[in-house]
Amino acid sequence: MNKNFEKFLRPVETLCATQGKRLTPPRRTVLAILHQRGIPLTAYEILALFPEGNAMSVYRALDFLTEVGIVHRIESLNAYALCVENHCLHRDSQYMVCASCGRTTEIHDHELNESLKRILKTQGFALARSTVEAHGTCGKCI
Ligand SMILES: [Zn+2]
Ligand SMILES: [Zn+2]
């Protein structure tokens, strides 16, 4: 196993354990693929890089990892990305998606999450997870 990935994985394993959850081999492999590629991938792209896996195991692993909060689903791209923060599992994510180069960057702003939760609460809405996607042009492409 890649040294960087081991280092990345350690706090994730600890957090999963505190929630009574386990990183099974397919879950670990999906994480390793996302970590190695470093860009958002669709389930099919992950599957193509996971010869021993099948669609069902990839989808189930992605469901688990999204639920735990170490992987986020970027709805508009139909893709999954590793959270930039591996020590604070969270289900609320914000992304900047550049229309020019396709670069997708997680913003990871807790304040934004809290504001959203507060606003929704005043509407009597209990938030389970949210993805905010900002579409535009990144600093490198302007
Ligand atoms: Zn995140
Ligand atoms: Zn760009």
pLDDT score for 1: 61
CA of 84 to the centre of ligand 1 (A): 5
Q: What is the pLDDT along the chain (142 residues), one digit of tens a residue?
A: 678 889 989 988 988 898 899 999 999 999 999 999 999 999 999 999 999 999 999 999 999 999 888 999 999 999 999 998 877 778 888 999 999 998 999 998 888 888 999 999 999 998 888 889 999 999 999 9
The full set of domain ranges for the chain reads 3-82, 92-136
Let me know if the fold of 3-82 is the same as that of 92-136. no
Closest ligand (CA of 104): 2
pTM: 0.87
CA of 142 to the centre of ligand 1 (A): 25
- State the CATH class of domain 3-82: mainly alpha
Closest ligand (CA of 101): 2
Q: Which two tokens stand for residue 136?
A: 């535009």
Q: Structurally, what CATH architecture does the domain formed by 92-136 represent?
A: 2-Layer Sandwich (3.30)
Closest ligand (CA of 106): 1
